[in-house]
Amino acid sequence: MNAIVQHHKLVARAVKFDFSNSPVQWIPNDPVCSHLINGINLILPAGEFWFCRVYNKTLPYIHHPVLIDDVKGFIRQEATHARAHQSAQEFLIQHGYDLDPALKKINWIFGVLLGESPLGIKALELKPLEHFWLVTRVGVVAAIEHFTGALGQWCMDNKSWDKADPVIADMFRWHLAEEVEHRSVAFDLFKEMMPNKVFFYLYRQFLMLLVFPIFIYVLADVGRKLGKQDPDQAVQKIANRTLVGLLSKYHRQAKQTDNGPTLTFLLKTTVRWLSPKFHPETEGNTQQALDYLARSPAVQMLSK
Ligand SMILES: [Fe+2]
Ligand SMILES: [Fe+2]
C-alpha cells in the first residue's frame, strides 16, 4: 500500500474566497469551458458530503492505523471542499442563475440512488447486504477519485488559467491540489475493504463502467443548464445543442485553448484504470501540489 509506505499527513486547510469581483464567465472569451467547469460547483457539495457520510461508516472496518488517519484527513478535506463550492453556488445565484433543477437531479443521485436504501430498496440496509452496499459505494468513490486525482494533476500543469479570474482559478487549483495530495486514499480504502485481489480487480472495472459515462453525462448536463441561462444568446444557442454536440464543441475548445481537460484526456485516464497494476500514486506529483498549496492566495489569507 503506497500511501502507507510514503505516508503524508493530510490536513484540511482553511480557505475563504471573495467572489465579489469575479465574473461568471471566469475564463476570458470561453463561455463553454467556464460554464462546464462552473457546473462542478453544483455537483461537488452533494457529492463530497456523500463521500464523508460513506467514509465515516467505513472507520470500524479499517485495521491499519495509518489508513484510519488518512481516511479521517480525507473526510476533513472533502468537507472543506464541499463548503467552498457551496459558497460558489451562492455566487452563481447572486448573478441570477437558477440552480434548483440541476441540484434536484444531483441530490437525487447522491441522496436516493447512492443513499442508505437506494430507490427504496430496504434490503440493502440488512446485514450482510449492508456491508456489500458500503463496499460498493467505497468503490464508486475510488472510481470518482481516480478522475479528481488525474484532473488535479492536469490542473497543476495547466498554464492557461493564469489569465482567468484569479479567485475562481485559485478555488479550483486549491481544491485540485488537495485532490492530488489525497489521490491514493480512496483506492487504498477500497482495496482494504475488498481483500480478494481478483474480486477487487473485477469489481473496480465494473464500477468504472458505470461511473465514467454517468460522470461525463452529469458534467455536460449541468454545464448545459448553466449555459442556457447565459445572458448572451450566442451562448444559449451552443447550450441548446444535443449533449453530444455540446461535448464535441467543448472538446474542440479545450484542445485549442487548454482551458479544460479534453475528452481524450479523460478517456486515456479511464484506460489507465484497466491495468491490474494500477495505483493512483503514479497519477500525480504530491510535491507539485504542496508547492501550489503553499502559494495559494486563499490558503495564505487564512494561515497568516
Ligand atoms: Fe474534493
Ligand atoms: Fe477527493
**Sequential pLDDT tens for the chain (304 residues):** 444 446 789 999 999 999 999 999 999 999 999 999 999 999 999 999 999 999 999 999 999 999 999 999 999 999 999 999 999 999 999 999 999 999 999 999 999 999 988 877 777 777 778 999 999 999 999 999 999 999 999 999 999 999 999 999 999 999 999 999 999 999 999 999 999 999 999 999 999 999 999 999 999 999 999 999 999 999 999 999 999 999 999 999 999 999 999 999 999 999 999 999 999 999 999 999 999 999 999 998 765 5
CA of 141 to the centre of ligand 1 (A): 11
Question: Which ligand has an atom closest to residue 70 CA?
Answer: 2
C-alpha span between 137 and 80 (Å, rounded):
21
Q: How far is CA 233 from the centre of its chain?
A: 30
CA of 102 to the centre of ligand 1 (A): 19
Peptide bond preceding 231: is omega within 30 degrees of 0, i.e. cis? no
CA of 100 to the centre of ligand 2 (A): 25
The predicted structure's pLDDT at residue 1? 45
C-alpha span between 185 and 72 (Å, rounded):
10
Q: CB within 8 A of 221, min separation 6: which ones?
A: 102, 105, 243
The predicted structure's pLDDT at residue 264? 98
C-alpha span between 257 and 174 (Å, rounded):
21
SS3 at position 67: helix
Question: Which ligand has an atom closest to residue 49 CA?
Answer: 1
The predicted structure's pLDDT at residue 84? 97
CA of 184 to the centre of ligand 2 (A): 9
The predicted structure's pLDDT at residue 254? 98
Q: CB within 8 A of 289, min separation 6: which ones?
A: 152, 156, 177, 178, 180, 181
Question: Which ligand has an atom closest to residue 179 CA?
Answer: 2
Question: Which ligand has an atom closest to residue 148 CA?
Answer: 2
Q: Which residue, 138, 251, 248, is CA-closest to 200?
A: 138
Eight-state DSSP code of residue 59: G
CA of 145 to the centre of ligand 2 (A): 6
Q: What is the pTM of this model?
A: 0.94
CA of 181 to the centre of ligand 2 (A): 9
CA of 233 to the centre of ligand 1 (A): 33
The predicted structure's pLDDT at residue 23? 98
The domain defined by 29-299 folds into: Ribonucleotide Reductase, subunit A (1.10.620)
The predicted structure's pLDDT at residue 8? 83
The predicted structure's pLDDT at residue 5? 47
Number of H helices, E strands in the chain: 14, 0
Dihedral in degrees, nearest 10, Cα atoms 267, 139, 44, 171 = -70
CA of 263 to the centre of ligand 1 (A): 21
